[in-house]
Amino acid sequence: MKAVALLMVIAHVALGDSPDPTKVCMPDQLSATEFNLMDASFANVTVDFGKKRSARLENGVRTVVDYANLKAYVIDSNGCTSSAASPYQLLFKCLPAMAKYAGQLAFGVESPRTLDVWRLNLGTFNLTMLGSTTPGVGSYPVLRKLFTPSGFTISLLENARPKVFDPTVLDIPNDCTEAPVVG
């Protein structure tokens, strides 16, 4: 009987009870500051999944991604240009089923915080994300490491809040021109 119990424990550990990635979801709205650990730059990030849009404001340049049309709009002092959204510009409300759970990471000394580690293969883009879940509120990405054909970036999301502070950052001007295709 002890051998059967031991085998059940080993099978449980070997098969792993990893969380269902489709149940790991951000709140409907999110505002945060993104700190790029590679170049020490900051950006304000806003997401409204109900409107199917996200916005990123960095150095006077606002990039709005329209999830419904998979288009990115870059708005600056020269006007607005649009192009197809890149996979790295898309944020998932819930992790896709293809996300692989890689375990947990705990940090801190007196009151350690536990983060879940997820990996996604998005074709030529690979993403490793550390996320924190707040019961009743949702999951938040905390640290993202993104590999793209042009290199990689590591970013930290700070001061995440489950709301949109300025909904106008998600607006898209009517007079956007299509960006020329390079390559």
This prediction has a pTM of 0.79
pLDDT one-digit tens code per residue, 67-122: 999 999 999 999 999 999 987 788 888 888 988 999 988 878 888 888 888 888 87
Conformational region of residue 104, where left means phi above 0, alpha means psi within -120 to 50, and beta covers everything else: beta
Distance CA 32, CA 42 (A): 10
Give the residue carrying structure tokens 């536990």.
Answer: 114
> The domain at 19-177 falls in which architecture?
Clam (2.50)
Distance CA 122, CA 63 (A): 21
- Tell me if 156 sits within 8 A of 59, measured CB to CB: no
Order of strands across the sheet with 71-76? 100-107, 113-122, 125-134, 138-148, 151-161, 29-36, 41-48, 53-58, 61-66, 71-76, 79-84, 177-178
**Strand blocks (E) in the chain:** 29-36, 41-48, 53-58, 61-66, 71-76, 79-84, 100-107, 113-122, 125-134, 138-148, 151-161, 177-178
| Percent of the chain whose predicted confidence (pLDDT) is above 90 | 39
Delimit the domains of the chain by residue range: 19-177
Distance CA 168, CA 93 (A): 20
Higher-pLDDT residue of 176 and 179 is: 176
pLDDT value at residue 60: 94
Question: Which two structure tokens, joined as six digits, stand for 105?
Answer: 């990471």
